[in-house]
Chain A
Amino acid sequence: MAARHKPKLAVWKFASCDGCQLSLLDCEDELLAVAGAVEIANFAEATRAVVKGPYDLSLVEGSITTPHDEERIHAVRRASKYLVTIGACATAGGIQALRNFKDVKEFTSIVYARPQYIETLNKSTPIADHVYVDFELRGCPINKYQLVEVISAFLNKRKPNTPAYGVCMECKRQGTVCVMVANGTPCLGPVTQAGCGAICPGYTRGCYGCFGPKQTPNTKALSAWWRGLGVPETDLVRAFRSFNAYADPFRKESESHEV
Chain B
Amino acid sequence: MKSKTIKVDVLARVEGEGAMSVKIQGRRVTDVKLRIFEPPRFFEAFLRGRKFYEAPDITARICGICPVAYQMSACHAMEDAFGLKVEGQLRELRRLLYCGEWIESHALHVYMLHAPDFLGYEDSIQMAKDHRETVERGLFLKKTGNAIVNLLGGREIHPINVRVGGFYKIPAKREFAALAEDLKSARDVAIETVKWVAKFPFPAFERDYEFVALRHPGEYPFNEGRLVSSRGLDIGIREYDQHFAEEHLAHSNALHSVLKDRGPYFVGPLARYNLNFDRLSPLAQETARASGLGSMCRNPFQSIIVRSVELVYACDEALRILDNFEMPDSPAVKVEPRVGVGHGCTEAPRGILYHRYRVDDHGLILDAKIVPPTSQNLKTIENDLWQFVDANFDMPQDTLQHQCEQAVRNYDPCISCATHFLKLSIDRE
Q: Give residues of chain B (355-404) contacting chain A, Cβ–Cβ below 8 Å.
A: 367
A19 to B417, CA, bound (A): 11
In the complex, whether A252 has a CB less than 8 A from a CB of chain B is no
B61 near A106 with CB under 8 A, answer no
For A66, what are the chain B residues with a Cβ–Cβ distance below 8 Å? 39
A28 near B139 with CB under 8 A, answer yes
List the one stretch of A125-133, A160-168, A201-209 in contact with chain B: A201-209
Look across to chain A and name the residue whose beta carbon is closest to the beta carbon of B251. A117
If A46-B112, A112-B248 touch, does A40 touch B125 (CB 8 Å cutoff)? yes
A124 to B123, CA, bound (A): 32
If A46-B125, A112-B248 touch, does A23 touch B157 (CB 8 Å cutoff)? yes
List the one stretch of B6-14, B207-215, B272-280 in contact with chain A: B6-14
If A98-B46, A112-B248 touch, does A25 touch B108 (CB 8 Å cutoff)? yes
Chain A: how many interface residues by the 8 Å CB criterion?
64
* Residue among A26, A31, A99, A205 making CB contact with B46, cutoff 8 Å: A99
Total cross-chain contacts (CB, 8 A): 189
Q: B89-112 vs A: 1/0 string, CB under 8 Å?
A: 000000000000000000010001
For A40, what are the chain B residues with a Cβ–Cβ distance below 8 Å? 123, 125
For B204, what are the chain A residues with a Cβ–Cβ distance below 8 Å? none
If A44-B10, A107-B45, A208-B57 touch, does A35 touch B128 (CB 8 Å cutoff)? yes
In the complex, whether A233 has a CB less than 8 A from a CB of chain B is no
In this complex, the member of B136, B253, B255 whose beta carbon has the largest number of chain A beta carbons within 10 angstroms is B253
Q: How far is the CB of B57 from chain A (nearest CB, A)?
A: 7
Q: How far is the CB of A16 from chain B (nearest CB, A)?
A: 7
* Residue among A20, A65, A113, A204 making CB contact with B41, cutoff 8 Å: A65
B16 near A18 with CB under 8 A, answer yes
A48 near B158 with CB under 8 A, answer no
If A110-B45, A112-B40 touch, does A17 touch B64 (CB 8 Å cutoff)? yes
In the complex, whether B50 has a CB less than 8 A from a CB of chain A is yes
Q: How far is the CB of A250 from chain B (nearest CB, A)?
A: 15
Look across to chain B and name the residue whose beta carbon is closest to the beta carbon of A68. B37
A117 near B250 with CB under 8 A, answer yes
Which B residues form the contact surface with A (CB < 8 A)?
10-17, 37-46, 48, 50-51, 54, 57-58, 61-65, 67, 108, 112-113, 122-126, 128, 132, 135-136, 139-140, 142-143, 146, 154-158, 160-161, 167-169, 246-250, 253, 255, 367, 405, 414, 416, 420
Of the A-B pairs whose beta carbons lie under 8 Å apart in the complex, a sample of 14, sorted by A's number, is A19-B158, A22-B15, A29-B139, A46-B123, A47-B123, A49-B123, A66-B39, A111-B45, A140-B158, A141-B155, A141-B157, A203-B154, A204-B169, A208-B160
Which A residues form the contact surface with B (CB < 8 A)?
13-23, 25-26, 28-29, 31-32, 35, 40, 43-49, 65-66, 68-69, 94-96, 98-99, 102, 104, 106-108, 110-114, 117-118, 120, 124, 140-141, 196, 199-200, 202-205, 208, 210, 235, 238, 242-243
